[in-house]
């Protein structure tokens, strides 16, 4: 059985950089009142390769959008606690789990192998994830997949419109405008999560 209870130790906030979407930014702004220009950062594509479709062209280069890190940890980690736990980015909500999209569109939930033995809240003695956890993670995965699709569209629109002419603050404003529009649609279809 797989057991997970986040003990809010903040270890994962030290190990990983956090890629975010325009809707993650909107959550941080809406629910936390954060000034995005202070918490959003550019991650050089050569440093941490992920999918090319998430590369944003800004001024002098190509980047991924992420949360700012201070002293090699997430900006929202304070005294070992996440300051935005209730509305943290969706990528954070999955840890230590992951999802795989099957060819038929179904979703499989699994345990992130990197988390086994590292995450103190994770106990694994078999591959069985309790049905209640699996069900909630499948719903979250569906929301995440939809949000990533909207994020791809936002990035593509920005890259086609602004290319390398725009700066980070312009990109943030552009992204928030798109996020507010997407939020209304997601909310209408009950696909928004705090």
pLDDT digits (tens, 9 = 90+) for 104-122: 999 999 999 999 999 998 9
CA atoms within 13 A on the CB side of 83: 12
Domain boundaries, the chain: 2-188
What does the alpha-carbon distance between residue 56 and residue 24 come to, in Å, rounded to a whole number? 16
What does the alpha-carbon distance between residue 28 and residue 9 come to, in Å, rounded to a whole number? 21
What does the alpha-carbon distance between residue 11 and residue 5 come to, in Å, rounded to a whole number? 14
* Whole-number pLDDT of residue 9: 82
Tens digits of per-residue pLDDT, 36-92? 999 999 998 876 666 688 999 998 889 999 999 988 899 999 988 889 999 999 999
**How high does pLDDT run on average in the chain?**
92
Helix (H) or strand (E) holding 158: helix 131-161
Q: How far is CA 63 from CA 46, 53, 164, in A?
A: 9, 11, 11
Residues in the chain: 194
> Is the pTM higher than 0.85?
yes
Q: How far is CA 192 from CA 87, 146, 168, in A?
A: 11, 10, 26
Per DSSP, which regions of 12-168 are E strands? 40-44, 56-58, 61-67, 69-70, 73-74, 77-78, 81-82, 97-101, 107-111, 122-124
Phi first, then psi, for residue 68 (nearest 5°) are -65, 145
């Amino acid at each position: 059985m797989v057991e997970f209870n986040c003990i809010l130790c903040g270890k994962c906030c030290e190990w990983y950089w956090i890629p975010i979407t325009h809707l993650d930014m909107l959550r941080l702004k809406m629910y936390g009142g954060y000034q995005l220009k202070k918490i959003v950062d550019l991650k050089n594509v050569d440093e941490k390769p992920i999918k090319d479709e998430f590369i944003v062209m800004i001024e002098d280069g190509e980047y991924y959008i992420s949360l700012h890190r201070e002293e090699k940890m997430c900006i929202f980690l304070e005294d070992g606690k996440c300051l935005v736990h209730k509305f943290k980015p969706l990528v954070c909500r999955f840890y230590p789990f992951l999802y795989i999209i099957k060819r038929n569109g179904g979703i499989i939930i699994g345990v992130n192998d990197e988390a086994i033995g590292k995450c103190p809240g994770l106990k694994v003695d078999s591959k069985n994830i309790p049905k209640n956890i699996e069900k909630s993670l499948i719903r979250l995965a569906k929301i995440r997949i939809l949000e990533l699709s909207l994020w791809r569209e936002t990035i593509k629109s920005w890259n086609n419109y602004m290319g390398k002419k725009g700066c980070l603050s312009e990109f943030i404003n552009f992204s928030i405008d798109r996020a507010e529009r997407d939020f209304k649609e997601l909310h209408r279809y009950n696909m928004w999560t705090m």
